[in-house]
Homo-oligomer: A and B are copies of this chain.
Amino acid sequence: MMNRALSIRSNKGGSSSTAGGGSSAGGGTSGGGHGGGRKGFSFASLRGSIQPELSRRLYRLIKSTNTLVTAHEAAGRERVAIATQLSEWGEQTRDEAVSDVSDKVGVILSEIGEQEDSYAHGLDEARERLKAIRNTERSVQPSRDGRDRIADEIQRLKLREPQSPRLVVLEQELVRAEAENLVAEAQLTNITRKKLKEAYEVEFAATIERAEKQVLLAKHGRRLLALLDDEPVTPGDARRTYTHAAQGRQILNDAEDDLKSWVLQLDETTVPTGAEDDSGELSTATAAAPSGPHSHSHSHADDSRRREKSAEGSTAAVSGPS
């Protein structure tokens, strides 16, 4: 049952706020950093450990999904093999009823295996969407690094040589890098949300398709089993003649018809309207910058906000490839 948790994060609590508050190079989309609990890491070391980690996590997720796809493919393949084995075993029992029922149950099992294989393909399709996010993450990384490198250089130069004429050039470079990064970050958030949603919509649809079709098949499978008379016989008594072969064929026809007429029906899931929001705010209103409970962390976010301002006016819509 699901009463274990309403979150499955293993590091719930301290470490997340540490990581979130430690870097000013956030994507500009988070509601506000959490300031508490920095443990003395420099920005540079956090960038070294956390930013690649971000990309690595999705890489691992995609790899694990591949393992999952493989497991379901193997299950589908094995299921089809089992179906044939069951049928052939039944034939060799020389029991007409067992032979007929096992053969037809085998047909059902084989189709259940095919559905398992289709499910694996659905998961693989979802996986492709996640790859689009990972690829964007990877391409955004150099943009962040370039901007941060210039910012670091400015900081160093200000300490060593506050009057250096190179500072002016670097500040100009920083504005350009920030503008470029602002576009990159917008691309990242757009691709991330779009593809994340798509990926799991594809996956849930595949889950529902496999499930509903396998329910149909299993129910017809149960009808087939009912054709098998399992009343015990006494030694020497003959079994009743098996007379249900045509009924069995009809059940398979019914199953085939049910599969053919099956269509994916999904409730229209709508973005909740503002009236139902727990914040009471209208979700259609353009949200302002984070305030209220998060205001204590503004000092950490100032730096990145200044950078966003420097690119104001660049309002071209940035959306990823569909």
Contact = CB atoms under 8 A, between A and B. Distances in A.
A248 to B, nearest CB: 9
Interface string A72-85: 10110011011111
Given A215-B207, A228-B197, A312 B236 contact: yes
A244 B278 contact: yes
Given A192-B98, A267-B219, A277-B247, A234 B204 contact: no
A146 interface: no
A64 B81 contact: yes
A218 to B, nearest CB: 4
A71 interface: yes
A26 B223 CA distance: 28
Contact of A318 (B229, B235, B271): B235
Interface string A188-218: 0110111011001100110110111011011
Interface stretch (A2-10, A35-43, A165-173): A2-10
B54 A93 contact: yes
Interface in A200-259: 200-201, 204-205, 207-208, 210-212, 214-215, 217-219, 221-223, 225-230, 232-247, 249, 252-253, 255-256, 259
Contact of A196 (B3, B7, B228): B228
Nearest to A319: B232
B68 A71 contact: no
Give the most central of A58, A86, A94, A193: most B CB within 10 Å.
Answer: A94
Nearest to A74: B71
A183 interface: yes
A290 B89 contact: no
Contact of A57 (B7, B78, B85, B245): B85
Interface string A274-303: 001111010101111110000000000000
A16 B232 CA distance: 26
A182 B168 CA distance: 103
A243 B279 contact: yes
Contacts of A10: 84, 88
A175 B229 CA distance: 29
A247 B272 contact: yes
Contacts of A214: 207-208, 210-211
A154 interface: no
B84 A252 contact: no
Interface of A: 1-3, 5-11, 16, 19-20, 26-31, 33, 50, 53-54, 57-58, 60-61, 64-65, 67-68, 71-72, 74-75, 78-79, 81-89, 91-98, 101-107, 110-112, 179, 182-183, 185-186, 189-190, 192-194, 196-197, 200-201, 204-205, 207-208, 210-212, 214-215, 217-219, 221-223, 225-230, 232-247, 249, 252-253, 255-256, 259-260, 266-267, 269-272, 276-279, 281, 283, 285-290, 308, 311-312, 314-320
